[in-house]
Chain A
């Protein structure tokens, strides 16, 4: 690809006290690419993802998103509005309805009129398949429905990048498919996505590349085929055999 990568991570380090959560990680993500991050618990997947929109601040190195450095940004809020993030525990606003969850940031950050924001919200809810639930509070929605509202909330901001941090790991098995379908459709549309997930179905169907993180280090970064059929290190092989059981 000749185009400039939309995410550039250059020798990023992040420590929590003595824990090396991210250690000398460098990787690029191209426009429209789906990058999946896998790795054992505590490997630093969430931390790396959160560094991209500066929920965590790296200690060393540089992260450039869409041509702007997030190390010392003039306007972090503007950059964040371009990066959607979906959390493991949804983090919907419990005091607002599904619709209000989606319109709030549009009105406050994107300065859209209420009516316009609501139209977009209805459209996004329809797209994630729960259009009829617009007036429900999060506590009245199932986990899968909540996660889809959370995805719609991010999409309504017209992000250039979507980050997913284990979006299905807090869901009951029968809910997982609905959320994965939404993510697959999004990947199909050409959204740039960085996804932390161990859902092999999704990985095989959508991933362009896979990164394997262990002890904060980027152990491998290849295509799914390469990784599954011909893992480079013993550590990767071990981990894969565990999750593919």
Chain B
């Protein structure tokens, strides 16, 4: 025996303990899954983090980019009078419920120099929209009001301006609601998650179409299809005015019936077309298209109904753009996953009497999922990064917030650094997670 150290430890009976020496119980940190570069990045990260968190400008930039909505909502801002008195009426109407209001005092440079005590109020369900006599004495108990726009007054020894805040730090539901509404980090995460979910659905649907028969038997059920085509033509004739010209009618009939004849081949053709077109377009072009070409065109075509009744501007068009763009990539991921499952699996399932879709759902897809989980994770990370592209349609996600902060402070370095660091934190964390999943699924 030449190398004693490489031998696994032996137990008292002299038999070797199975498994590697990494399998010690009690170690929660997955050392095996933590690559060496992660350790280096961790060290560098701690260093950079220290520098940033001890620098006021970075903190300012990070807070602005993160846009954390933890505990307060501005209700009104006003100047404090010469003698220090202030009087603030909530600008927006408050719904029925309990509120904790307080005022913060700012100096001429907008630094916080103090704050009032808290006013606890309760707005009744039949409250009406009017401003009440000002409340002057803060109270621990809830004061019941029948007004939806409370007025609060007091006096401040210092400060130039006063901000009336609604403090909701003890209301989890409101915090969640504000996370849902907030910009910056949460907008980025929101857009990514919604877009990725819908891209997953698109990917699955088109992926299933991609693995459909590419040269199906067009003769099968052809008469039923032709009949359906005929019914559609007749319905079109009844509900819309067909062109007078006999040639145009003939062309219409031939196109409809032609499509019906080709129908079994359409899923594969359509999904291939979708994949090739979408993968051939830069993401930026797709998003600009959605934001500035498709949405206005839809508004015009629908007589203002879309973006009137249904508003597609802003986030919806960004989400649609990202989803259909990434749907194409995910389609290929799903196709690859499904095709990686041996043919015998489908045959065994079909031989037992399962339909094609039952076999897909119970036998093929559950196995394919294991194969495609890592590439899906990678595409999620890619989408998280690409979500910064939606700043071109002026959505205040992380990058846009960073640029906004830079345009106010002219500190490009701190601004972009903060944005970059936040993206890196998320993407590096996620890629560690993907590695972990990769190891896990490749074991069995």
Query: Which residues of A pack against B, CB within 8 Å?
Result: 53, 55, 77-78, 80-81, 83-85, 87, 89, 91-95, 104-105, 108-110, 137, 139, 150, 153-154, 157
Contacts and interface: CB of A to CB of B under 8 A. Distances in A.
Contact of B352 (A89, A95, A157): A157
A58 B352 CA distance: 20
Contacts of A78: 353
Given A87-B347, A91-B344, A93-B345, A77 B354 contact: yes
B367 A94 contact: yes
A55 B351 contact: yes
23 contacts: A53-B351, A55-B350, A77-B350, A77-B354, A78-B353, A80-B352, A80-B353, A81-B353, A85-B348, A87-B348, A91-B348, A92-B348, A93-B348, A93-B367, A95-B366, A104-B363, A105-B352, A108-B358, A108-B362, A109-B353, A150-B348, A153-B352, A154-B352
A157 B354 CA distance: 12
B222 to A, nearest CB: 14
B355 A85 contact: no
A150 B355 CA distance: 19
Given A94-B367, A104-B362, A108-B362, A81 B344 contact: no
Contact of B351 (A85, A104, A110, A137): A85
B444 interface: yes
Contacts of A137: 444
Contacts of B350: 55, 77, 80
A163 to B, nearest CB: 9
Contacts of B362: 104, 108
A87 B362 CA distance: 20
Contact of B353 (A92, A105, A139): A105
B440 to A, nearest CB: 14
A80 B354 CA distance: 8
A91 B354 contact: no
B373 to A, nearest CB: 13
A157 B344 contact: no
Contacts of A84: 351
A109 B354 contact: yes
B351 A77 contact: no
A55 B366 CA distance: 23
Contacts of A104: 352, 362-363
A94 B354 CA distance: 17
A91 B367 contact: no
A63 B351 CA distance: 16
Contacts of B342: 91
Nearest to A92: B348
A87 B352 CA distance: 12
Contacts of A153: 352
B313 to A, nearest CB: 45
Given A84-B351, A85-B351, A91-B345, 20 more contacts: A55-B350, A80-B350, A81-B352, A81-B353, A85-B348, A87-B348, A91-B348, A93-B348, A93-B367, A95-B366, A95-B370, A104-B362, A108-B362, A109-B354, A109-B358, A110-B353, A137-B444, A153-B352, A154-B352, A157-B352
A104 B342 CA distance: 19
B351 A83 contact: yes
Contacts of A109: 352-354, 358
B347 A95 contact: no
A52 to B, nearest CB: 10
Contacts of B347: 55, 87, 91
B345 to A, nearest CB: 6
Contacts of A91: 342, 344-345, 347-348
Contacts of A94: 367
Interface string B379-396: 000000000000000000
Residue among A84, A89, A95 facing the most chain B CB atoms (10 A cut-off):
A95
Given A93-B363, A95-B366, A139-B444, A105 B354 contact: yes
A78 to B, nearest CB: 7
A80 B370 CA distance: 29
A80 B351 contact: yes
A110 B367 CA distance: 23
A117 to B, nearest CB: 12
Interface in B400-444: 444
A94 B342 CA distance: 11
A85 B362 CA distance: 19
A143 B366 CA distance: 23
Contacts of A93: 345, 348-349, 363, 367
Interface string B225-257: 000000000000000000000000000000000
A80 to B, nearest CB: 5
A189 to B, nearest CB: 21
A84 to B, nearest CB: 8
Contact of B344 (A89, A95, A108, A139): A89
A57 B355 CA distance: 17
A89 B345 CA distance: 10
Contacts of B344: 87, 89, 91
A62 to B, nearest CB: 18
Interface in B297-348: 342, 344-345, 347-348
